[in-house]
Amino acid sequence: MKTVLELQLEVLVKWLKDYSESYDERDGALECAVKNARVETMFKLGDYLEEILAMSDEQIKDELK
């Protein structure tokens, strides 16, 4: 059974991976690039967190060495 913290972190993963920006037709190239970078960063953070949540206790201990 998963703990409340694990479930909360899974919600965070979902939110990070589902993050999106609204684009406006008035946005210039720089604004679009910043928004795209933000979306990519959120998705990557979600991937990292998802990977960490899938690790065994032993893997986590190894990463903290």
Tens of pLDDT along 9-37?
A: 999 999 999 999 999 999 999 999 999 99
Which residues contact residue 59 at a Cβ distance below 8 angstroms, ignoring those fewer than 6 apart? none
Q: Which of 41, 40, 55, 59 is nearest to 9 (CA)?
A: 55
Amino acid at 22: S
pTM: 0.84
Mean pLDDT throughout 41-49?
97
Dihedral (Cα; 36, 37, 39, 43), 10-degree rounding: 140
| % pLDDT > 70, the chain | 100
| % pLDDT > 90, the chain | 95
